[in-house]
Amino acid sequence: MGDHHHGPAKGIGRWLFTTNHKDIGTMYLWFSFAMFILGGAFAMIIRAELFQPGMQLVEPAFFNQMTTLHGLVMVFGAIMPSFVGLANWMIPMMIGAPDMALPRMNNWSFWILPPTFLMLASTLFMEGGAPAFGWTFYAPLSTTYAPPSVTLFIFSVHVLGLSSIMGSINIIATVMNMRAPGMTYMKMPLFVWTWLITAFLLVAVMPVLAGAVTMMLMDIHFGTSFFSAAGGGDPVLFQHIFWFFGHPEVYIIILPAFGVVSQIIPAFSRKPLFGYDSMVYATASIAFLSFIVWAHHMYTVGMPVAGELFFMYATMLIAVPTGVKVFNWISTMWRGALTFETPMLFCIGFLILFTIGGFTGLMLSIAPADFQYHDSYFVVAHFHYVMVAGAVFSMTAAVYYWLPKWCGRMYNETMGKTHFWISFIGFNLTFFPQHFVGLAGMPRRIPDYALQFADFNMMSSIGAFIYGASQILFLYNVIATIVSGKPTSEEKVWDGAEGLEWTVPTPAPYHTFETPPRIDPAHAHS
């Protein structure tokens, strides 16, 4: 290649054949936003049906399809790809690499996603309907008693797993091999660290999920009885395998979020991240613990008491490294010079709400109490505090934080802050009352409920519509920024921001760090 810079190809070919990490990152981000809207639409149908007692809009069978697809689309279509997109954009720029280590595989791991979700969504129009067994698809409801569309669902899960594994291998290869000279591991930005650990989790557990769905496929079509007691199998085996994947999965979702917050809070506190080393160790501890706690999702399946105790103690331990992280973030803010631009607002929102989700997580870890919480709306409230206020808020913060660097234009701050406050209020109105109905005895995944739960459910639905509507403002703000935002060419868009990504021109050129930057050995991590 000559020493001239060349830009992107023209037309649709640019996107179909691109191997550029920024293009692929952009596609991942747009795709995940589209899925966020789709999964959100499913959620709106759920909340509309639950607005009042009685069946009004949909039938119970369709309601179950909605809860199932909402979960699947949000987890596998919105949250995970959004962080992969962020990793694509930011990791090379944060470690001073020109691109991802395996750019062609990168293209492939993105492009298999849209057809997969098209296939998954198409099951809605199949005879027998879409999968209706919940995103946790417990056998035998998902095998012997499943609609025919389950086979397409299994195929989708396989392809999604393939995409995730390819994406993870790419991230591991990039971080291990392409750091700029002088960028030692303990100098990497925390976002890179959390993603490196996440990538290992993905490589470890996605094959387990693939194993689970393959066993389902065998049970359904080839006469095996892995999960059928009638044939000598064990329905609980399915849950063990699923949660051996599923528990690390929730950390796969939240660890990159931790990384984002660890970048943004120091920037708007104008003070380095407190306890960088302990943050790295805490992330690694959480990742390790995530492999030995899976059965806390199954306290009521009738495990022996020794098993219950083991999983309870191990789960309680997770509070320690998670607490360390929260304390470090707050110590980072302590005696800084704080400003409250939109990314910071979303990070503070994250901090408060994620911590509440952590508290309810600790409560859920207590096995005897979980006999009352399990499969109630308390659990629904808990994991939405972690998934939405944790992962989605931090992702939103990330978009506002890096958008000016990506497109060289500033977003509308007033609109951003408005988005935050509407989101914050809408979110809490939706999910806080769900703690109450859960504790009062409302089971999850029901299309209709007893009259004593009516008021809180109505509140929840109103909150959900508010939260949903606020995302339209977000979309508008992002598009308006890209099209006609106030141009900025400052390399360091935020005065407190640190890191290599802020040393390249704004907007970031198509190719960055074609020659590796020099990292000052004396300079602390960023």
Partner 1 sequence: MCVEAKRLLRLALGPVLMLLSAVALAAGGEVNQVNMSPGVTEVGREIYNLHMLILWICVIIGVGVFGVMFYSIYAHRKSRGHEPATFHESTKVEIAWTVIPFFILIAMAFPATSTLLDIYDNDDADMDVVVTGYQWKWKYEYLNEAGENVSFFSNLRTSQSEIYNSEQKGEHYLLEVDEPLVLPADTKVRFLVTANDVIHSWWVPELAVKKDAIPGFINEAWTRTAQEGVYRGQCAELCGKDHGFMPIVVNVVSKEEYGEWLATKQAEAAQIKELMAQTFTMDELMERGKAVYDRNCLACHGAGGEGGVGTAIAGSAIATGELSGHLDIGVNGVPGTAMQAFGGQLNDVDMAAVITFQRNAFGNNMGDMIQPIDVFNFKKG
Contact 297/239 with Cβ under 8 angstroms? yes
3-class state of residue 506 by DSSP: coil
Q: Tokens at residue 353, please?
A: 């709400």
322 belongs to the catalytic site: yes
Q: How far is the CB of 327 from partner 1 (least distance, A)?
A: 5
Q: How far is the CB of 309 from partner 1 (least distance, A)?
A: 6
335 belongs to the catalytic site: no
Contact 139/216 with Cβ under 8 angstroms? yes
Q: Would you give the binding string for partner 1 spanning residues 127-146, x where CB under 8 A is met?
A: -----xxx---x-xx--xx-
3-class state of residue 486 by DSSP: strand
Which position among 37, 121, 162, 362 is part of the footprint of partner 1 (CB under 8 A)?
Answer: 362
If one asks whether residue 413 binds partner 1 (CB under 8 A), the answer comes out as no
Q: Going by C-beta distance under 8 Å and a sequence separation of 6 or more, which residues neighbour residue 43? A: 70, 74, 464, 468
Query: Which CB atom, from 16 or from 61, has the smaller least distance to partner 1?
Result: 61
User: CA-CA distance, 95 to 254, in Å (whole number)?
Assistant: 21
The catalytic residue among 322, 396, 423, 470 is: 322
Query: Which CB atom, from 420 or from 474, has the smaller least distance to partner 1?
Result: 420
If one asks whether residue 425 binds partner 1 (CB under 8 A), the answer comes out as no
Q: How far is the CB of 34 from partner 1 (least distance, A)?
A: 27
Query: Which CB atom, from 258 or from 456, has the smaller least distance to partner 1?
Result: 456
CA angle (468 as vertex; 417, 459 as ends), nearest 5: 100
Q: Would you give the binding string for partner 1 spanning residues 15-44, x where CB under 8 A is met?
A: ------------------------------
Q: How far is the CB of 160 from partner 1 (least distance, A)?
A: 22
Which residues, 230 to 289, sit near partner 1 by CB under 8 A? 230, 234-236, 269-278
297 belongs to the catalytic site: yes
Q: Which stretch binds partner 1 (CB under 8 A): 3-11, 82-90, 162-170, 310-318?
A: 310-318
Residue 410 pairs in a beta bridge with 486
Q: How far is the CB of 471 from partner 1 (least distance, A)?
A: 24
Q: Going by C-beta distance under 8 Å and a sequence separation of 6 or more, which residues neighbour residue 500? A: 93, 94, 95, 96, 180, 513, 517, 526
443 φ/ψ angles, rounded to the nearest 5 degrees: -70, 155
Which residue has 């005897």 as its token pair?
368
Q: Would you give the binding string for partner 1 spanning residues 200-219, x where CB under 8 A is met?
A: --------------------
Query: Which CB atom, from 352 or from 422, has the smaller least distance to partner 1?
Result: 352
Which position among 17, 185, 288, 371 is part of the footprint of partner 1 (CB under 8 A)?
Answer: 371
30 belongs to the catalytic site: no
269 belongs to the catalytic site: no
331 belongs to the catalytic site: no
The catalytic residue among 187, 271, 296, 405 is: 296
- For the chain, the C-alpha Rg in angstroms (whole number) is 23
Query: Which CB atom, from 213 or from 367, has the smaller least distance to partner 1?
Result: 367
Q: Going by C-beta distance under 8 Å and a sequence separation of 6 or more, which residues neighbour residue 100? A: 21, 24, 88, 91, 92, 106, 170, 171, 173, 174
Query: Which CB atom, from 101 or from 381, has the smaller least distance to partner 1?
Result: 381
502 belongs to the catalytic site: no
If one asks whether residue 521 binds partner 1 (CB under 8 A), the answer comes out as no
Query: Which CB atom, from 50 or from 508, has the smaller least distance to partner 1?
Result: 50
Contact 158/207 with Cβ under 8 angstroms? no
Counted residue by residue, the chain has a size of 526
Q: How far is the CB of 411 from partner 1 (least distance, A)?
A: 20
Query: Which CB atom, from 33 or from 193, has the smaller least distance to partner 1?
Result: 193
Query: Which CB atom, from 308 or from 501, has the smaller least distance to partner 1?
Result: 308
Q: Would you give the binding string for partner 1 spanning residues 327-346, x where CB under 8 A is met?
A: x--xxxxxxxxxxx------
70 belongs to the catalytic site: yes
Which H, E and C letters describe 353-378, residue by residue? HHHHHHHHHHHHHCHHHHHHHCCEHH
Q: Which residues of 329-349 are buried (b: 16+ CB within 10 A; e: fewer)?
A: beebbeebeeeebbbbbbbbb
3-class state of residue 493 by DSSP: coil
Which position among 8, 40, 114, 323 is part of the footprint of partner 1 (CB under 8 A)?
Answer: 323
Q: How far is the CB of 469 from partner 1 (least distance, A)?
A: 19
Which amino acid, residue 449? Y
Contact 473/419 with Cβ under 8 angstroms? yes
The catalytic residue among 158, 240, 270, 444 is: 444
164 belongs to the catalytic site: yes
Which residues, 455 to 474, sit near partner 1 by CB under 8 A? 455-456, 458-459
CA angle (252 as vertex; 349, 239 as ends), nearest 5: 115
Which residue has 């990152």 as its token pair?
25
Q: Going by C-beta distance under 8 Å and a sequence separation of 6 or more, which residues neighbour residue 54? A: 448
Q: Which of 4, 160, 156, 187 is nearest to 84 (CA)?
A: 160
User: CA-CA distance, 511 to 519, in Å (whole number)?
Assistant: 19
If one asks whether residue 368 binds partner 1 (CB under 8 A), the answer comes out as yes
How many chain residues are in contact with partner 1, going by CB under 8 A? 97
Q: Which stretch binds partner 1 (CB under 8 A): 102-110, 184-192, 207-215, 364-372?
A: 364-372
Q: Going by C-beta distance under 8 Å and a sequence separation of 6 or more, which residues neighbour residue 3? A: none
470 belongs to the catalytic site: no
Q: Tokens at residue 363, please?
A: 């409560």
Which position among 357, 404, 426, 447 is part of the footprint of partner 1 (CB under 8 A)?
Answer: 447
Q: Which residues are catalytic?
A: 70, 99, 135, 163-164, 247, 249, 251, 262, 296-297, 322, 325, 444
